[in-house]
């Protein structure tokens, strides 16, 4: 657990984000909010079809979510109150600024919803191809420079041991 000067507690956990107790779980989504693979599939499988249904309604109403932006749905059967769907960039196609933006906007959305805890996966490091090192560096910088309102705790959840070890090294070096 890291205690930051901005007041946030940050924890790195290796595991399945659908098992985490947090007010919001962040999903690594695509612009169409079609949760067909990776962490998105795991969230819908465990949380229930309501999450995909609300996602479809969102896209029908507002259009696709731009890269670097977020959208919110309920969390179905998961312990969380909300799912914040963050659309990260595809490595080499969209820029790192979009990953920075997706992470920052997920935190801002949690504050807007007056939540105290948020769990984040390694956005863009699966199907979207980002190296763990780059995602970890961007994430640590966003968390460090963030000025929280209601958020007290950020839990970063890494699925593989490899991802966990890389994030741990970069967070240890920077926090």
CB atoms within 10 A of CB 70: 23
Tokens of 94: 């969209």
Interface pick for ligand ADP out of 28, 33, 78, 120 (rule CB under 6 A): 28
Contact 80, 104 (CB under 8 A): no
Stretch that binds ligand ADP, among 49-57, 68-76, 115-123, 138-146 (CB under 6 A): 115-123
Decide if residue 83 touches ligand ADP (CB under 6 A): no
Look up residue 130 and give its two tokens: 């980002």
Touching ligand ADP, residues 129-168 (CB under 6 A) = 157, 159-160, 163
Member of 75, 115, 128, 143 binding ligand ADP (CB under 6 A):
128
Task: Select 115 or 135, whichever has its Cβ closest to ligand ADP.
Answer: 135
CB 124, CB 99: distance < 8 Å:
yes
Helices (H) and strands (E) in the chain — how many of each? 5, 7
The SS3 of residue 19 is helix
Among candidates 8, 9, 26, which has minimal Cα distance to 17? Answer: 26
Per-position x/- string for 85-104, each x denoting binding to ligand ADP as judged by CB under 6 A, each - no binding: ---x----------------
**Contact call for residue 115 and ligand ADP (CB under 6 A):** no
Return the number of the residue (122 or 170) whose C-beta is nearest ligand ADP.
122
Is residue 42 a contact point for ligand ADP (CB under 6 A)? yes
Among 56, 75, 64, smallest CA distance to 17 is for 75
Q: Which residues bind ligand ADP (CB under 6 A)?
A: 16-18, 28, 38-40, 42, 88, 121-128, 157, 159-160, 163
């Amino acid at each position: 657990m890291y205690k930051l000067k901005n007041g946030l507690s940050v924890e790195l956990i290796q595991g399945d984000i659908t098992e985490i107790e947090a007010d919001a779980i962040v999903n690594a989504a695509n612009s169409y909010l079609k949760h067909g693979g990776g962490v998105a599939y795991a969230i819908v499988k465990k949380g229930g079809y309501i999450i995909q249904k609300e996602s479809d309604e969102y896209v029908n109403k507002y259009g696709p979510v731009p890269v670097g932006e977020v959208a919110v749905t309920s969390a179905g059967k998961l312990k969380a109150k909300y799912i914040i769907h963050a659309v990260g960039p595809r490595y080499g196609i969209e820029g790192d600024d979009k990953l920075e933006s997706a992470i920052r906007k997920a935190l801002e959305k949690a504050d807007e919803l007056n939540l105290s805890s948020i769990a984040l996966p390694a956005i863009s490091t699966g199907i979207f191809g980002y190296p763990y090192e780059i995602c970890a560096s961007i994430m640590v910088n966003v968390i460090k420079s963030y000025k929280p309102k209601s958020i007290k705790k950020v839990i970063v959840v890494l699925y593989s041991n490899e991802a966990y070890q890389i994030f741990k090294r970069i967070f240890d070096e920077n926090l």
